[in-house]
Amino acid sequence: MAKIDLLKEKLALIKKYYHTCTIMYFDLYTVCPEDAREEEGDTLNYFQNEAFKLETSDEMKQLIVDLHNEIDTLEDPLDRRLVEISYDGYEKTKNITPEMAMKLSQAQSKAYITWLKAKENADYSMFKEAFGELINTMKETIKTRDKVLPNFYDNYLNDHEEDMLTKDLDPFFEELKVGLIDLINKIKNSKHVIRRDFLSRNVPIYKQEEFSKYLLNLNGYDFKRGALTTTEHPFTIPVAQKDARVTTHYYEDMFLSNIFSIIHEGGHAIFMQNEKPEDYEHFLEDNITNGMHESVSRFYENVIGRSKEYIHLIYPKFKEIFGEEFPDVSEQELYEGANIVEPSLLRTEADEVTYGLHVIIRYEMEKLICNGEISLDEIPAKWNALYKEYLGIDVPSDKEGVLQDVHWTENFGYFPSYQIGNCYNAMYVLKMREEFDLDKAVASGDFKTINNWMKEHVFKRSNELEPKEWIREITGQDLTPKPFLEYLNKKYKDIYKF
C-alpha cells in the first residue's frame, strides 16, 4: 500500500473515534443532565485519549515523517496539503504523552463544569483553582514542543490563526481601537433617538423557536444535514460530513439575542455544509482557521442580518409570528433597534461597533495571562478596569464580567478570531459587490446567488490555504481593518444622522 493511502486508512479509524467524541461533546454541552456531566466528561476524555494514542503512535509518527520527507513526489496537491497539516500537528504533539493528553482533557472538563457553577453563582473564586490548573496544564503542553515561540501567547494565536502573531495583531488592533472609539464618540454626540422600549418585551420561546427555523431555512441551512437545540453558550459543531449542528440560547425578554445567535451560528453551519467532498476524502475538512470561520458567521449575522434589506425581507414573517408581541413596531424601528450602538457588558449581545472593543479587551487580557504578567487573583479587577476604560461601564458581577465566556475553559487565542473575521468579510464583500448587487439579492431573498458566490470564492479553497494566502487570493490584499471601519462609518452615519 502506498504510504499516503496507509495514512488515510489510519486517519479513517481516528476519525471514527473523534466522531464519537463530537457526539458526546455535543450532548455534554446541550442536554446532558447536570448530575451526569462529570461521568460523561470522563467518558469523553477516555475516547479522546484513545484517539490521541492512535494519532501519536510510533508507526503514525514515522509514516508522517516519511511522507513529509517525500512530499515532492505526491502529485495530488490535496495530498500534499494533508501531509503538511499532519506534519504540523506531529511537530506540536510528538512529545506529548497519552498521560499528559489525558491530564489536559481532564483539566478542560473540570474547568467547564466548575465554570458553569461559578457563573451561576456569579463568583470567580469558585472557578479560580480549576482555571489555574488548566492554565498550568496548557503551558506544560506547549512547552513539550521543539519550537516554542518566545512570546508565549503567540503559540496559542498561531494554533488558532496560522501564521498570525502579536507582531501582526498589535498594530492591527491599535488601528481598530482608535477607529472604533472615534466612531463611538460620533454616535454618542448624535441627536437621533432610537426607539428601544420594545426590545425587552417578553416573547414566548415557542415562537422564537419557530422564527429560528424560518431564519435558518431562509439563509440556506440544510436541516437534512443538521439539527437545532439549546445550550448555555451558543455554538455550532461539525459532527460529520452530513451533520453540522447549531445551538442557541433563548431569552424571553431579549428576543434579538436569539435572532442574531441563530444567524451567526447558521453562518458557521452553512460554511461547514459547503465544504467540498474532496476535502473529506483527503481528511482536510474543518481545516479552516477560526478567523476564516468567524468571517462567514459574522458576514451572515451583521453584513446581511443587520442590514436594512434583510430586515425588510424578514419583517412580514416577524409580524406574522410576533404580531401579538409587536403590533406597534414598524420595519424602520425594528431595523434601528437591531442596530443600536451602546456600550454593554456582554460580548455576545454587543452591537457591531462596540463588539471590537470587547475582543480587544480579551486580547489584552490573554496576553497578560499567557505571558505571566498578571496573577489569578488580579484577573477580575483588570477585566473590570478595561471595561471601564474602553467602554465606560462598570461591571456589576463576575457573571457579566470575567465569567461570561466559555472559551477559557478550553484554550486561549480564539477571541481575536472574531474581529479578524469581521475585517476579512469587510474585505471580500467589496469584491462580492463588484460582481452582483448584494443589497438587491438580500432584499429579494436570493440566497442562492449569495451562497454560490461564497461557495466559489470563500469556501472553495479554505481548507487548502493558510489564512494570509486565502484572503489575498480572494481580495488581492493583506488583512487590514480599513474596509471594516469604512463599512461601519457609512452604515452608522446613515442610522444616527451625524
For cell 448555555, name the residue.
232
How many other CB atoms sit within 10 Å of the CB of residue 322? 21
> What's the start-to-end Cα distance of the chain, in Å?
68
CA torsion angle 327 305 311 350 (round to 10): 50
Give the residue numbers annotated as catalytic, written as ranges.
265
What sections of 415-478 are H helices per DSSP? Answer: 415-435, 438-443, 447-453, 467-475
Q: Please check whether residue 498 is in contact with residue 353, taking contact to mean a CB–CB distance below 8 angstroms.
A: no
* Cell reading at 51: 484517539
Q: Is 396 exposed, middle or buried (0-12, 13-18, 19+ CB in 10 A)?
A: exposed
Measured CA to CA, the distance from residue 151 to residue 165 in angstroms comes to 9
- What would the grid cell of residue 478 be? 493583506
DSSP 324: T
Instruction: Report yes or no: 354 and 179 within 8 Å, Cβ to Cβ.
Output: no
Do the Cβ atoms of 305 and 260 come closer than 8 Å? yes
Report the distance separating Cα 442 and Cα 483, nearest Å. Answer: 20
